[in-house]
Amino acid sequence: MKFAKVLARVTWLLVTENTVSYQRLRRDFGLDDGALEDLRRQLVLIHKVATDQGGESLAWAHAASSGTASTGLAPIRPSAPVAAAVATSQPAATVSDAERRPLTVMFCDLADSTALSARLDPEDLQDVIRAYQETCTGLIQAYGGFVAKYMGDGILVYFGYPKSLEKNAERAVRTGLAIVEAMGGLNAGPGRAKGIEIAVRIGIATGLVMVGEVVGEGLAQERTVIGEAPNVAARLQSLAGRNGIVIGALTKEIAGDAFLYEDLGARELKGITGLVVAWGVAGLRDAGDERADEAETESGAPPPTLVGRDEEVGLLRRAWQGTKDERRGQVVLISGEAGIGKSVLIDGLRAGVLAEGLPRVTFRCSPYHTNSALYPVIEHFKRLAGWQPEDAPAARVAKLEAMIEHYDQPLGETLPLLASLLSLPLPEERYPPLTLTPQQQKQQTQDAIIAMTLEAAEQQPLLELWEDLHWADPSTLELLELLIEQAPTASLLMVLTARPEFVPPWPARSHITPITLNRLERQHSEALVNRLAGTRPLPAEVVEHIVAKTDGVPLYVEELTKTILASDILRDTGGRYELTGPLASLAIPDTLQESLMARLDRLPQVRELAQLGSVLGREFAYEMITGLATVGETALQAGLGQLVASELLYQRGRPPRARYIFKHALVQDAAYQSLLRRTRQQHHQQVAELLESRFPEVVRVQPELLARHYSEAGVTERAVTYWLEAGRRAAGRSAYPEAIAHLHQGLAMLADLAETPERARQELAFQSTLGPVVMATQGYGSSAAAVIYHRARELCRLVGDTEVIYPVLFGVYLLDLVSARYRESIEVANELLELARQAGNSGARAAGHLALGVSLVQAGQPSLACEHFEQSIALLDQEERRPIAFRYGLEVGATAQAYWAWSLWLLGYPDQALERGRQTLGLLEEVRHPYTESRG
């Protein structure tokens, strides 16, 4: 028998018999001394459910707190109805992954059980306890609680597990009050018959817990709960008087003003660190006793309808009509908090344009690609070209050609640019490699994209949607700014959405109209609730509750309404809904976490799929989640179908080519945050390894995606490698902001590794890549560049790297030069030149002579400087000029010619200076290095 089963069965023996001898355990379970000691440690030290009785036996630890040990009152097995209720509410044994949950715990104990056991016959006492348990269990279930364990005459109850509902703390307190009230009925029945008065003591506490692995089987099956709340609840119960309820401060804070409280002050509780503020519950603040039954049902509600946005809808329609009638481009920026209705607003516009048969395109920014250059643009072109995952490169080229030919753009010029953007290899016999510098390629790619957009808008009015700009990468915003500037020249309506924290990088323009979405007014919230309810009207108090709790946020209105429609507090009578339970237990979620869990807890596999999807991102492919899911394909498709049907996900296409999109980013966040930290890490590592093994193209073109997943997985070494690759790739494309972000991410992770020679070499690779990028964006003399290059120089000395030292010293020389530290710059240039001579590196020698020459000119020695410029030019290999230019950040030959010309002019040789100037222009034409050209 497996140890877990032995543990579960022994636990149940302790619950039912109170004491079990070690001799019996050896005999009944065949345990040797080692196994018996392991069992003792688990029960006594780890789970703390038993105590050792002098090395002879184990005793149920909770007997003392319930009066069992002192009275001889043995725990009894729950009655058949209670047992059935507990069995049906037990968590599924197949779900073993631990998770984080906010949990409200109630500990309910029968008061004065010692006196009862002394007065009553054991059978009569059993009848009393059975009636007490049945009464409590019915009320607990009515309010959405879960009986975790019967401990003698005590009951341990969870609110928030295994099913998460709204307002768990308030529900627990209402249950306690209902139980206290129900004691009157018990006293009128079994109590009067036995000549006793039955009372309870209740303690309630709230806190974040980890719900762990399933332990035990049958009625004894439970999940371990790790956290302080269960212990605090048990200790607070000991403070309560007869029929008293004592709660912790956090429970009171969450429960709010629904109850009347008595301040019991800060108390010192046994086993709890620090003082605990305790509050007594005196009763409901409002009159009446409500019963809840919130098991979810299918609501049948239609999709949410746009309400309360007449002004904004009218503005968008007028803008679209003006675009069509006047052939005049416009831009509308919609701003609002998460869940305020930005997506619903543009969905309405999109649907109208679709009905007209006119084109509309959508660019969707991603929170996982904020540093992936032009990510939404790349994804758009992949969709526009009709690429499929199984397409060979030749097929993708053909589709891209067909797409471009639809526009009046030169195929030979445009296709290589887009192919490079999409990381698509081209046949060299048809398309020679691009000979542009990264900056030229970037500009021409931007021009091509804008030209295609404007041409499409010239053919017929075009709606272009840019969603979630608060997640846009810098290169996308740069392109967008260029497009916005030219929008008035074509029949183009651009509608942009962003959260309030987004600050547009472009200046205000007359053709840009801002829209700020505010919260709904009361009548609009009511209208939205009624439309969600469909043809059957909701009771007025239900509508009032939703409107009062959701505060005009459309997403909250939508989610809370659906939660109520899916619960059993409403009964469908055919023509209308009737209220059958309390509304106070339902409230607007602070986040969507509770709402999400309430809708998914009925089917754990569906919840797990939502969590897996949340790790993959806002949008994910069926083929990706297939590689991660532990269920079969039939169950996977069924689960995803339920997520789509519940409107948590949108679906595009059919499996196996389907893609899924979380309807709201907040839903994705809620699913993600419900995962344990270690579970998230495991999933991120699985995603990264899946990408490496099955999607090499993604690895090649999006190393930052691998870097992010490995970072979240805590696999630092792999993450560092991919951050470096991502930084180099972005720098090679002149996507400098993205390159800086990637490299800084990698450096931050590198700091977590132990200080070793290998770490020093890796840091040197990061710093030497980062240096030229920072100089290009912040200037030669920037303080950031100084920190980078001085650190890189120190690392070169530490690891003895003779290859990286050359551009590093060149960077240090530039820092000294622009700071007018000419003596220092000459020293650094001489060091660079000497090292290059020793190694026989002609390219580095050329850079060294250039550095020394420029320093000498600045130091007032132009004649000597000319000798170094001449040597620098002579050392350059024609084939190496381009790689050298990008390694050192400038074109060495052209720069040497330019400074030689200047030196000759200073020496009084204007004709020779002019000739050198002409040669400089010739060299620049050959190499085309934009940064060198920009320096004059």
In the chain, where the domains are located? 1-61, 71-284, 310-516, 522-588, 595-675, 802-934
Chain position carrying tokens 């509050």: 279
Is the pLDDT at 72 greater than 80, yes or no? no
C-alpha gyration radius of the chain? 36
Q: What is the mean pLDDT of residues 539-555?
A: 82
Q: Which tokens sit at 598?
A: 């309430």
CATH class of 310-516: alpha beta
pLDDT of residue 647: 74
Is the pLDDT at 704 greater than 90, yes or no? yes
Say yes or no: do domains 1-61 and 802-934 share a fold: no
Percent of the chain at pLDDT exceeding 70: 86
Q: Which residues lie closer than 8 Å to 324 by C-beta, 6 or more apart? A: 358, 461, 491
pLDDT of residue 544: 87
DSSP labels, 82-128: HHHHHHHTSPPTT----EEEEEEEEEEEETTHHHHHHHS-HHHHHHH
pLDDT band at 66 (very low <50, low <70, confident <90, very high): very low
Amino acid at 768: S
Q: Which tokens sit at 588?
A: 């607007």
Chain position carrying tokens 């597990």: 161
Q: What is the mean pLDDT of residues 162-170?
A: 78
Lowest mean pLDDT among 9-13, 207-211, 727-731, 850-854: 9-13
Rounded distance, CA 730 to CA 777, Å?
A: 14
Strand 492-498 to strand 462-467: parallel, antiparallel, or no bridges (unpaired)? Answer: parallel
Domain 802-934 has CATH 3.40.50.2000: no
DSSP 386: T
Chain-centroid distance of CA 748 in Å reads 20
Rounded distance, CA 753 to CA 833, Å?
A: 34
Q: Please tell me whether residue 54 adopts helix, strand or coil conformation.
A: coil
**For 597-655, how does the pLDDT look when each residue is reduced to its tens digit (9 = 90+)?**
655 665 566 788 888 999 999 899 999 999 988 888 998 999 899 889 877 899 999 99
pLDDT of residue 128: 83
Q: Which tokens sit at 705?
A: 């995606």
pLDDT band at 74 (very low <50, low <70, confident <90, very high): very low
Q: What is the mean pLDDT of residues 208-220?
A: 65
Strands, E assignment, 601-640: 619-621
pLDDT of residue 166: 66
Q: Are 56 and 95 a contacting pair, CB within 8 Å? A: no
Domain 522-588 has CATH 1.10.8: yes
Strand 244-248 to strand 275-284: parallel, antiparallel, or no bridges (unpaired)? Answer: antiparallel
Is the pLDDT at 78 greater than 80, yes or no? no
pLDDT of residue 612: 93
Rounded distance, CA 19 to CA 152, Å?
A: 13
Q: Which tokens sit at 651?
A: 């679906």
pLDDT band at 2 (very low <50, low <70, confident <90, very high): low
Lowest mean pLDDT among 42-56, 504-518, 627-641, 816-830: 42-56
CA angle 723, 726, 730 (to 5 degrees): 140
Architecture of domain 71-284: 2-Layer Sandwich (3.30)
**For 384-410, how does the pLDDT look when each residue is reduced to its tens digit (9 = 90+)?**
999 987 889 999 999 999 999 888 889
Mean pLDDT of the chain: 83
- 698 vs 670, which has greater pLDDT? 698
Lowest mean pLDDT among 231-245, 305-319, 586-600, 892-906: 586-600
pLDDT of residue 215: 62
Q: Which residues lie closer than 8 Å to 128 by C-beta, 6 or more apart? A: 116, 120, 190, 191, 194, 196, 198
**For 408-463, how does the pLDDT look when each residue is reduced to its tens digit (9 = 90+)?**
889 989 999 999 999 999 998 899 888 889 999 999 999 999 999 999 999 999 99
* Most confident residue range from 5-9, 125-129, 215-219, 375-379: 375-379
Is the pLDDT at 301 greater than 60, yes or no? no
- 209 vs 745, which has greater pLDDT? 745
Is the pLDDT at 94 greater than 50, yes or no? no
Q: Are 551 and 560 a contacting pair, CB within 8 Å? A: no
- 92 vs 690, which has greater pLDDT? 690
pLDDT of residue 77: 37
Q: What is the mean pLDDT of residues 764-788?
A: 92
Strands, E assignment, 56-117: 57-60, 99-110
**For 3-22, how does the pLDDT look when each residue is reduced to its tens digit (9 = 90+)?**
766 776 677 567 545 678 88
pLDDT of residue 373: 92
- 412 vs 27, which has greater pLDDT? 412
Start-to-end CA distance of the chain, whole Å, equals 83
Torsion angle (degrees, nearest 10) of CA 457, 460, 461, 467? -60
Numbers of helices and strands, H then E, in the chain: 42, 21
595-675 CATH pick, 3.40.50.300, 1.10.357.10, 3.50.50.60, 1.10.10.10: 1.10.10.10
pLDDT of residue 18: 65
pLDDT of residue 570: 84
pLDDT band at 246 (very low <50, low <70, confident <90, very high): very high
DSSP 257: G
Q: What number does CATH give the domain 1-61?
A: 1.10.10
